[in-house]
Amino acid sequence: MALTLRTLTADGLAEFQRVLDSSFLHDSTDDELERWRGLFEPERHHAVFDGDELIGGGGIQSRDITVPGAGPQPVAAVTSVGVKPGHRRRGVMTRVMRAQLDSLHEGREAIAALWASEAAIYPRFGYGLAAEFSRLSVPRGAAFRRGVSTGGERVREVSRDEAMPVAKAVYEDVRPGRTGWLSRTDAAWDYHFADTERDRGGLSAYRYALHPQGYAVYRVKNDWQDRGPRGELHVRELVARTDEAFAALYRYLLDVDLVGELKFFTASDDPVVHLLEDSRLALRSRSDSLWVRVVDVDRALAQRRYQSDVDAVLEVSDEFCPWNAGRWRFTVKDGAATVQRVDDDPDVVLDVQALGAAYLGGTRLVSLARAQHVQEVTPGVLNALSHAFLGDREPHCPEVF
Ligand SMILES: CC(C)(COP(=O)(O)OP(=O)(O)OC[C@H]1O[C@@H](n2cnc3c(N)ncnc32)[C@H](O)[C@@H]1OP(=O)(O)O)[C@@H](O)C(=O)NCCC(=O)NCCS
């Protein structure tokens, strides 16, 4: 039977979600289905059918993402990509990727972004590794440097109902300045803080700590050992409008009794390490978070800002989206870029993955050159280009979508 692909309608969520849950090794439940409903944009979900049977698909959420220097910009947040085990390695996902990128070309979003279940999956479709997170672990009671101020305000443990409106307000205030952070509708908040058994993974329900200028959401886990309590405190999100509130919230979490370690999947440049008297107490290991796909080179490069002026002809290769392939004159003046198709000789040759990787300002083009994604033709231009692309801070995405 020939496979067909089409977008879904509102009543297609349940069947789609069953296939997706199963492909992610989860059992489908009504709770999980309801959790997805508020985020489900049927016309942006592509499904592949074998006859009448839905055998795979992928979705897009219409979100904004903060990009370097230019605040929130539209992003196609790619999500829910899965194929039934019996139909894998026959090009089903490739058809979904094809349909997604064709639908995005010259549309609302100039970039797409995703979290990958496995890092080898998406580079072939032009996604580049743009942001990483840090698995942070700090022992309870780790002292701050002398002179660190946590201010005079108290951190209070509050109910979810009290915490959520404050969390939303703080997040909205902070988001425009944090590269990689996504816009969240109320449905997105409900989804990400749903607190189902599946999310808890053997830990407690969410607990909420509020400071007048920030919040932390976390879980705890009991662990009693021969030498005493060694519980764990897992931070889900810690957001503060001020540096004092940031320090106060960390101090609060680091001082919770009966805990052995604080653990947090956090920004790769989380400043807590510089708050500690003994920075080595903060163990960190990095892993990929956001993969970015430049959908349309000219629109994407023009919508963010740059650190320094540069004028270079880029020769871009893009097998999956050939409309991007070719030479582009990329000129930055006072932080703003213009991008025009040209026939001039190239200064730098690169693949579209490299542009996606460098897009959020965290991955250096000079590093990508050493990894053979980028080739300098005109001496000196690569350093200038690499510097121009750098962001003010490491990109970070605080939620898996
Ligand atoms: C990942 C998944 C969606 C791939 O679907 P699929 O229909 O088998 O993929 P395709 O047949 O279109 O594969 C396209 C190419 O990607 C490769 N590929 C597919 N899955 C891969 C993986 N997990 N790791 C590395 N390469 C992979 C294929 O080998 C194929 O390569 P080729 O073109 O050189 O032959 C499917 O394996 C799945 O549902 N996995 C579990 C859920 C999951 O991880 N989803 C991704 C969410 S981010």
Ligand 1 contact, 300 CB (< 6 A) = no
Which of 247, 263, 286 is the last residue in one of the domains?
286
Residues 139 and 240 in one domain: yes
Residues 184 and 205 in one domain: yes
Tell me which residue of 307, 306, 305 sits closest to 70, measured CA to CA: 305
Q: In ligand 1, which atom is closest to the CA atom of 83?
A: 39
Ligand 1 contact, 65 CB (< 6 A) = no
Q: In ligand 1, which atom is closest to the CA atom of 120?
A: 25
Q: What proportion of the chain, given as a percentage, has pLDDT over 90?
A: 97
CATH no. for residue 13?
3.40.630.30
pLDDT at 128: 98
Residues 69 and 166 in one domain: no
Catalytic, 401? Answer yes
- Mutation pick for ligand 1 pocket among 24, 55, 83 (CB with most ligand atoms within 8 Å): 83
CATH no. for residue 312?
3.30.1050.10
Tell me which residue of 152, 201, 178 sits closest to 26, measured CA to CA: 201
Under 8 Å between Cβ of 240 and 249: yes
270: Cβ contacts below 8 Å, ≥ 6 apart? 134, 136, 264
Average pLDDT, the chain: 97
**Is pLDDT larger for residue 81 or for residue 35?**
81
Residues 177 and 306 in one domain: no
Residues 301 and 263 in one domain: no
Residue 115 lies in a domain: no
pLDDT, tens only, 187-239:
999 999 999 888 999 999 999 999 999 999 999 999 999 999 999 999 999 99
Mean pLDDT of 379-390: 98
Residue 186 lies in a domain: yes
pLDDT at 31: 86
Residues 264 and 169 in one domain: yes
Mean pLDDT of 153-173: 98
Ligand 1 contact, 120 CB (< 6 A) = yes
Atom 31 of ligand 1, nearest CA residue:
89
Cα separation, 250 vs 254, in Å, equals 6
Atom 5 of ligand 1, nearest CA residue:
93
Distance in Å, CA 371 to ligand 1 centroid = 24
Write b or e for each residue in 148-159: b if 16 or more Cβ atoms lie within 10 A of its Cβ, otherwise e. Answer: bebeeeebeeee
Identified catalytic residue from 16, 122, 125, 359: 122
Ligand 1 contact, 92 CB (< 6 A) = yes
Atom 45 of ligand 1, nearest CA residue:
82
Residues 327 and 263 in one domain: no
Ligand 1 contact, 60 CB (< 6 A) = no
Which of 236, 268, 286 is the last residue in one of the domains?
286
Mean pLDDT of 341-353: 98
Ligand 1 contact, 18 CB (< 6 A) = no
Residues 9 and 101 in one domain: yes
Residue 77 lies in a domain: yes
Residue 121 lies in a domain: no
Distance in Å, CA 91 to ligand 1 centroid = 8
pLDDT at 1: 67
Whole-model pTM: value is 0.97
Residue 395 lies in a domain: no
pLDDT at 304: 98
Cα separation, 20 vs 12, in Å, equals 12
Residues 105 and 10 in one domain: yes
Q: In ligand 1, which atom is closest to the CA atom of 95?
A: 12
pLDDT, tens only, 12-47:
999 999 999 999 999 998 888 888 999 999 999 999
Catalytic, 122? Answer yes
Which of 267, 286, 305 is the last residue in one of the domains?
286
Per DSSP, 154 falls in state: P
Does pLDDT of 263 surpass 80?
Answer: yes
- State which residues form the domain around 314: 296-389
Residue 400 lies in a domain: no
Ligand 1 contact, 98 CB (< 6 A) = no
| Strand ranges inside 33-168, DSSP E | 45-50, 53-67, 71-83, 111-115, 128-129, 132-139, 156-158
Residues 349 and 247 in one domain: no
Residue 326 lies in a domain: yes
Mean pLDDT of 297-324: 98
Residues 50 and 185 in one domain: no
pLDDT at 228: 93
Residues 167 and 276 in one domain: yes
Count of domains observed in the chain: 3
- What is the Rg, in whole angstroms, of the alpha carbon atoms belonging to the chain? 23
pLDDT at 381: 98
Residue 42 lies in a domain: yes
Q: What number of CA atoms fall less than 13 Å from residue 111's CA on the CB side? A: 33
Ligand 1 contact, 93 CB (< 6 A) = yes
Does pLDDT of 276 surpass 70?
Answer: yes
